Structure 1
Amino acid sequence: MYKITLKCILVLSIFFISIKSFAQLGVSFHQSNLPFVGISYEINNKFLPELRIGADNYIEDTSLEFAVNYIFKRNEIVNIYAGVGGRIGSLEGIVVPVGLNIYPFEKKNFGFQIELAPILRESSVLRGSGGIRYRF
């Protein structure tokens, strides 16, 4: 328990250190066989660090994930990103998300997302997810 708490503090510290000016807060929900809720800050329209918390599981089985994504293609409707991060708790390992955010409505706060993210470990897992994203 102590080891997990220390890791949680480390992940949260890294996340809050990455918050800079010109950032836009966002929340997301990814549905998959490993669903999660995310809290992100879009920095300078290029970087998207995101803290992800596992959902649909017992509290003691909750996983934390931190990913830093780079938005390499951006237009008014679609953002395409790729990144790298880490996951602690259930299925610990390195996470390499690749995905897109789609904002089809006139007001660009609410959108949809699709992501493919391998979780690299001794026995790797390929996670695909779809969900929603809201930017404040």
Structure 2
Amino acid sequence: MAKAQVSVGINIQNSRNFITVGTDTDKELFGEARLGLGRRTGLELMGGYNFVRKSDVNVYVGAALGLFDHYHPRRDRYYDDTYLAIPFGVFLKPFNDKKFGFVIEAAPVFYGEYGSYLRGGVGFKYTIR
């Protein structure tokens, strides 16, 4: 019988902070829902592919769809529309307990007629196994 494996975390980005809930980030393919916090709340859905999977580090690329609300830092305002992002990240697991680790991520964000920008940040995750 398969056991449920859920990851939870916090990403601190230059455009907004996210609370994340997703599948096991050690799998080759994983998914994540990100609740964007700030002056307004937004939702981002991300699917990721780990092209490097080791016991102490994963390196991934993904595709994300932002829904509802989005903050554009160069224009210093919120837009109520969807956006596309392509996250590239590293998940470091430096401790003996490989359930906990640190995330470093950057993502170009494409926001239709409003332009695009590069988002980046750090965070941490814990996988419940």
TM-score, scaled to structure 2: 0.80
Greater relative CO, 1 or 2 (CA 8 Å, sep 6+) = 2
Q: Is the 8 Å Cα contact of residues 78 and 101 (structure 1) preserved in structure 2?
A: yes
Structure 1: tracts of 5 or more residues without a match: 1-20
In the alignment of these two chains, the number of paired residues is 113
The corresponding residue for 1:31 is 12
1:75-90 correspondence runs (5 A): 75-90=54-69
Q: Is the 8 Å Cα contact of residues 22 and 43 (structure 1) preserved in structure 2?
A: no
Structure 2: tracts of 5 or more residues without a match: 71-81
The corresponding residue for 1:14 is none
2:103 to 109, 113, 121: 113
Cα RMSD, aligned residues only: 1.7
Structure having the larger proportion of residues in strand: 2
- Aligned partners of 1:44 and 1:115: how far apart in 2? 16
Cα 1:100–1:22 shift into 2, 3 Å: farther
Structure having the larger proportion of residues in helix: 1
Which 4+ runs in 1 deviate beyond 6 A? none
Identical pairs, percent:
33
Per-residue deviation at 1:117? 1.0
Q: Is the 8 Å Cα contact of residues 97 and 117 (structure 1) preserved in structure 2?
A: yes
